[in-house]
Amino acid sequence: MLKVIGFDLDGTLTQHRTPLPPASRELLDRLRRRYRVLIVGAGNCPRILRQIENYPIDVIGNYGMQYCRYDPEAGLHRQVFDLQIPPDRESVTARISRLRREHGYTEYAGDGVEFHSSGCVTFPLLGTKADIRDKLAFDPDRKKRLAFYAEVCALFPEFTVFVGGSSSFDLAPLPYNKYYALDRLCQDEGYRHDEILYVGDDYGHGGNDEAVYVSDIPFRPVSDYTRVTSFLLDLL
């Protein structure tokens, strides 16, 4: 019954912003013989394709706003769609300033908000130029961000808000999230939800895989990308 396996990338197949390790490549190679396999990512397609070194599978990027299909005859990826939903920058900036004042994040390095061409927005609590060590040490258990996550969601009703990366909130314009991306794939390409399996690591509250985890699409959690194959042995 299973036809499609969708994978999260960071934390599921590899480390954040790191190429696919050999074990993950081998897993994908084996699964591709039996199923349609694709990546459903939070980042944009060009970034994901660079990270996976153009590994020959389809890639959905920006929570479903972008889609690149691999053309096996040409040996390259082709963009199917690339949606952009520009936000009200002034209003977004004002709301982020308000959150910074209310929660004591008025000091930051670089910019206090990052607008992406897709319409996604990053709210980096420590700023865009913060030191990577400071970012990693900031909120490893996410408690600092979860403390006011509900408030951020309420203040940005036109977005889905994710507790993203190490020290930021990531905002994707509604209705885009990974569940929406997979549902659209089903509608466009004729799959049922129960013919899909999604594999991800970030399914906790505010995580970018949560929308799939709480949905009717079957979900396989991965708690350690270095052992990703061990979570999928029944499919090989």
Binding Mg ion by CB under 5 A: which of 201, 206, 210, 217?
Answer: 201
Does 139 bind Mg ion (CB under 5 A)? Our answer is: no
Q: Which is nearer to Mg ion, 8 or 170 (CB)?
A: 8
> What is the C-alpha separation between 124 and 129, in angstroms, rounded?
9
Between 11 and 61, CB nearer to Mg ion: 11
CA distance 189 to 36: 12
Interior CA angle at 71 toward 54 and 3, to 5°?
Answer: 90
Task: Give, in degrees to the nearest 5, the angle at Cα 206 between 165 and 123.
Answer: 50
107 CB neighbour count, 10 Å cutoff: 9
Judged by CB, which is closer to Mg ion: 105, or 225? 225
Q: Is 11 one of the binding residues for Mg ion (CB under 5 A)?
A: yes
Q: Interface with Mg ion includes 58 (CB under 5 A)?
A: no
The smaller minimum CB distance to Mg ion, of residues 10 and 183, is found at: 10
Query: Which pair of tokens denotes residue 172?
Result: 């994707």
| Count of residues that interact with Mg ion, criterion CB under 5 A | 5
Select from 61-69, 89-97, 118-126, 201-209 the region that touches Mg ion (CB under 5 A). Answer: 201-209
* CB-CB contact of 234 with 2 (8 Å): no
Chain contacts with Mg ion (rule: CB under 5 A): 8, 10-11, 201-202
